[in-house]
Every structure is written in structure tokens, then in C-alpha cells.
Amino acid sequence: MASTTETYTLPSTPHPSRQTRGESSYRPKKAWQSRLSFLRSKQPTGSEEQLSRSNTRQSTASSRKDEWWRIHYFQGMINDIRRRAPFYWSDWKDAWDYRVVPATVYMYFANILPALAFSLDMFAKTKMSFGVNEVLLASVLGSVVFSIAAAQPLVIVGVTGPITVFNYTVYDIIVPRGTNYFSFMCWIGLWSLVMHWFLAITNACNGLKYVTRFSCDTFGFYVAFIYLQKGIQVLTRQWSTGDASAYLSIMIALLVLGVAYIGGVIGNSILFHRIIRKFIEDYATPLTVIFFTGFVHIGKMRDIELQKLPVSKAFFPTTDRGWFIDFWHIDVGDVFIAIPFAILLTILFYFDHNVSSLIAQGTEFPLRKPAGFHWDLFLLGLTTGVAGLLGIPFPNGLIPQAPFHTNALCVTRIVSDDDESEAKGHTRRVVDHVVEQRVSNLAQGLLTLGTMTGPLLIVLHLIPQGVLAGLFFVMGIQALEANGITQKLVFLCKDKALTPGSDPLKRIERRQAIWYFVALELFGFGATFAITQTIAAIGFPIIILALVPVRTWLLPYYFTQAELNVLDAPTASKFTMESVGGVHGDLEIPVVGEGGENEGRSSLEDGDEAERGEVGKKNDLEPSSSMPNRGAALRRTSLLSEREGMELKSLRTRSRSNVRPE
């Protein structure tokens, strides 16, 4: 079960990379050596680390500042690899888990159907330059590269709404000038590759430590609304086929929304046996899509013409061209005109991809494998360049698909609210652990590749656009429900007299402060949403990016630190943020977090390690799990000497009394 490698890299805390940071700050010179020899790098044992960590903490304040302001070229990427590489083999082995199956199926639908809808948009607005096959190939490219090589394989990469906007805005600007569109896009991709790599080499992702829930929620809110808007747009387009077709499509969309939503509600209820319930939760959305695709062929509906998803010939580009772009057939001047566009694209991707990664690795998910933002940005540059050369849309991290993916991989348990008053029957779910692996991402990509074959394209062509609109509504609403802005709005709407005192927002004395905070977020959302409806759409990443300095420097003028600690929080845990040098100094992860999907997070953090360990032992779904959790660590004490075993046990006891993340 545990290879030698793993035994070596086995950390005794659930956040094993802390020791790596300790290590790297002590031995920066050894970076290249250890990168080359990471498979054999000797890591300190648990007790050593325990000792060294306290030293690190004392010296951090001075040494880290020096560390992160001076650019250590390649340092970020190297550390990312060094941190993640020890888990690479387990990323494949851990995929031997049932959760990978529903996650793959769900992500296939949640990725390919919106991608097809976006292709519909681009198809129309770029005069058929981009079609279904280009979009599918971009998804496959992203999926294969990132699932195999990324430091954060949970992040689903594909064609997003924003890049769709980018693509046809460029088309509108450039094509009237007589420039070859594909060559120009290729140059944007190539320039952007250079910029991405520059950012990756100079550790630019360290800026992410200033990115908090404030901007992530705003961006997530925007993306969720884009889904709702797209759903409505798809439906309004149905009138071109006739009234009956339009109203049938709306009816189907409403039914898809209703059924899939009820499926989600049942999945979160205590109805049915655990296995049936989980099945409903996992497959409700895909099965709803399949069911309603068939449903429209029943009875009187058979006679109504419905628009289906558009598809083209298998594996060939939509326009009459090869897959490789002759990027040299372009004016030299245009090559340089591509630079400002490449800058915009790079800003978009820097923010969009990294925010996808942050949200997909948010504090609500108890991740145990380290993140790596620098290395992934480097990879993103690569795929951007390749996509440019192939004449396909540039893929990047997908919201809300990426967090949905992590969510689908969560192994949850339902616990009674109160142990002493179990009879009350209030139960809630806690996330026990996430099945962190690379297979679900790869598999959904390969399924997409399979979809590009003739027969499957025909099957795909059966799906009515009304079903697609329904799916958009489901995704939009689910994303909205999980969003921190929505949750704050719900809090503000709640009857004051009945709001429980345990709600962290209750600790804020100035209720006005919450209103202002939400208003600012909504203003950011509104500005972004408004700009994407204009010709200046291409500039929207700048607005979103501007929220970060607003949060960091302006907000503290009005809000007190205590208020900000409750209202805002780092998106990802300190453990995940290790890759970018930790979270911004002022912010502490609140004891009871808000803004995440998982209500029970706080209590999970309370009994964090203990529960993971115990369930690690009990969990029969995961027989070959080699998660480096404490339970596993404890099991292995049998291989160690009695003395070492005692050490681990006392270590466990010690950290139990101090389980809250520091």
C-alpha cells in the first residue's frame, strides 16, 4: 500500500507542506538540487518538524518579508513542484475511490454542455471561425495538460464565458481591419505565453495573498449571473423556430430546473438510504438532462420542432483549414497590436484561473495535498500558446465548475447537531475529506475527446436547447446559493429576532457595515456585468482586479479589523496559500467561517484531525487510501518501534488540544 517514497514523505500533520516551507526558508540555495532529486529528498520526521516549526514562526516576520519582496526567480514554481511532487503517485492511486465516478460524470455534463452553449455564441458572432470542435478540443487540451501535469489537478480547465466575450470582441475589432483572425489570435496566444511564463518565473502569484472572499465572491456572483443570463438568452433564441417551440423549451427548462433542484435537495436531506441518496445527489443532474432529452419525444411534443445543440463533422475544424495556424501570414504591425490584447488576456487569466483555483481549494474543503499556483500559471501559458497555434479558444480555470468538481469529490458524513440532544433530529453534513486525485479531471477530458467522434456527436445533437437552458439555471442557482454575497444578503433579510446568536455575522455590532460591504460587492458585480454588455467587455477583468487593492487598502478606512475578519476571509486556507507565501498578514481565518458552502465547517475544524483519522480507519469506500492523515500515520506506527509509536501518540494528543488552525 505505502511505497517507500510515501513512507518518506509521510507527514505527521494534516498540512504537510508547512514543513516544506520551513525547509525552503532555511535552505533556499538547495532549490534546484532538491527539484531534481525530489523523489528521494529526505524530509524531516514529525518530531523534528514540530521542533523546527516553532523556530520558523519566530523568524518568519523578518525573514519572510525579505524573502517575498526580493524576486527569487523560479522560486515559486520550484517550491510548487517540490511540495506537490511527493504526492504525484498518490494522486493516481487515490483515484481508486467511488467518488471519482460521479465527479467525472457530473463534470463531463457540467463542462461540455456550457462549452457547447458558448460555442453557439462564438459560432454566430465570429462568423463560424469557432465551432463545436474547437471548443471541445480546447476543453480536452486543458483537461489533459492540467490533470497530468498541474500542481492543482482539481481545477477544471476549459472554455469560459469571459473568453467567449474576449474572442468575439477581438473579432469585431480586428477583422474589419482585414487582418487574418486566426493568425492574430495565435499571436495573442504566443505573447500571452511569454507573459504567463514571465509572471510564473517572477512568482507573481504571490499577489494572490491579497485576494480574499471579497473579490472571489464578487467574481463568482458575476459568473453565476452570466449562467442565468445565458439560460435566458438560449430560451429567447427559441422563438425563431416558432411560439410552440419557444414555450415548450421554457417548459422543459423549468422542469429540468425543478427536477435537478429537487434531486439536490433530496441528496442533502435524510431521505432514503445513504446509498440511494448519494446516487440521487450524484447523478440527478446528468440523468435529468438525459431524461428530458428523451421526454420531448413523447406524445404531442414529438410534433414540435426544437432547436438542438449544434455539432459539426468529427475531429475537423469548423472552417476549412488545418489544425495548425500559419501564424506567419500576418503583418508585422499586427503582431505588435496583439500585445495589448495579450496583456488583457493575461490579466483575465491571471485572475480567472487563479480565482478558480482558490475557490476550488477554498477553506470549506479540507484539502490535504499542497497547492501550486506558480507552476499552474506556467502551464496555463503553455496551453494558451498551444491553443493559439491550433486556432482554438484559450482554455482556463472554470467557475463554477472547478469548485463543483471539488465539491463532487467530497466524502461527507451526516452528523447529529448535538450529541446530547440527538433526539431533536437536527442533522447536518460535514465534509470528511476530499478525494484529491487527477483521474476525474483526466477522465472527463477523455470523455469529451470521445464526444468528438462521429457517433457521440450525433447523440449530443439530440439534446434540446431548452434542456441546456435548464442546466444553466441549475448551475447558476447552485453557484448563487453557495456564494458569500447571497449568504450575507440572506442574513440581512433574516428576522433579527430569530437569527441565532451562533451566526458569526451577529458579532458585528454595526449592521450597517454588513450592508455597506455587500453593497460594495454588488457594485463590483454590477459594474462588471454592465461592462460585459458593451463593446468594452474585453476590459472587465480590470474591474474585478481593481477590487483587490480596494479591499486591501481602502476598506480598512471604513471597516474595523474585527468587522473585516468576520465579513471577509482568505478564500483558501493557509495551507493552500503556502504556495503564494501565506495569507495577507492582517487576515485571520475566523473561527466560524462564512462564505463557504459548508455550514458545518466550523465544527469540522473543531474536531478536524480526530475525525479525519477515525473515518480514515472506518471508511470502507476507500480501502487503499494512502492519504497522509493522522489515522494513516497511526496505523503505520506498528511498523515503527515502540518508542517512535509513543512519540506519534503524544504528538497526536498534543495537537488535539490545539486543533484549531493557527
Q: Which residues bind a second copy (CB under 8 A)?
A: 239, 242-244, 246-248, 250-251, 254-255, 258, 270-274, 277, 300, 303-304, 414, 416-418, 421-427, 490, 493-503
Q: Give the Cα separation of 514 and 173 in Å (integer).
A: 42
**Residue 413 bridge partners (DSSP):** 430
Give the nearer residue to a second copy in terms of CB position, either 37 or 499: 499
Least distance between a second copy and beta carbon 570 (Å): 25
Kindly state the smallest distance separating residue 255's Cβ from a second copy, in Å: 7
3-state secondary structure labels for all residues of 22-76: HHHHHCHHHHHHHHHCHHHCCCCCHHHHHHHHHHHHHHHHHHHHHHHHCCCCCHH
Cell numbers standing for residue 543: 474591474
Closest approach of a second copy to the CB of residue 558, in Å: 26
Distance of closest approach, residue 592 Cβ to a second copy, in angstroms:
11
159 or 505: CB nearest a second copy: 505
Cell numbers standing for residue 562:
474585527
Q: 416: Cβ–Cβ under 8 A, 6 or more apart, which residues? A: 422, 424, 425, 426, 427
Nearer to a second copy, 141 or 508 (CB): 508
251 conformational bin, left if phi > 0, alpha if psi -120 to 50, beta if neither: alpha
Give the nearest distance from C-beta 516 to a second copy in angstroms: 20
Measured from the CB atom, the residue of 239 and 515 that comes closer to a second copy is 239
Nearest distance from C-beta of residue 496 to a second copy, angstroms: 8
C-alpha–C-alpha distance, residues 361 and 373, integer Å: 11
Give burial (CB, 10 Å; 0-12/13-18/19+) of 134.
Answer: buried
CB-nearer residue toward a second copy: 190 or 410: 410
Closer of 326 and 509 to a second copy (Cβ): 509
**Of 138 and 256, CB closest to a second copy:** 256
Task: Indicate the residue among 200 and 235 with the shorter CB distance to a second copy.
Answer: 235
Q: How far is the CB of 429 from a second copy (least distance, A)?
A: 11
Residue number, 424 or 510, with CB nearest to a second copy: 424
Q: How far is the CB of 276 from a second copy (least distance, A)?
A: 9
Q: How far is the CB of 661 from a second copy (least distance, A)?
A: 22
Min dist CB 410 to a second copy, Å, is 18
Longest dimension (CA), the chain: 79
Under DSSP, the state recorded for 413 is E
Comparing CA positions, the residue from 441, 400, 521, 314 lying closest to residue 114 is 400
With residue 21 as reference, give the H or E element that holds it: helix 17-26
Of the two residues 303 and 320, which places its CB atom closer to a second copy in the complex?
303
In the complex, least distance from residue 603 CB atom to a second copy, rounded to whole angstroms: 11
In the complex with a second copy, the residue whose CB is nearer, 72 or 507, is 507
Q: Which residues of 362-387 are buried (b: 16+ CB within 10 A; e: fewer)?
A: bbbbbbbbbbbbbbbbbbbbbbbbbb
CA dihedral 32, 34, 38, 40 (to 10 degrees): 140
User: What is the spatial distance between Cα 297 and Cα 623, in angstroms, rounded to a whole number?
Assistant: 44
- How is residue 158 written as a grid cell? 476549459
Residue 70, Ramachandran bin (φ over 0: left; ψ between -120 and 50: alpha; else beta): beta
- Contact predicate 182/391, CB 8 Å: yes
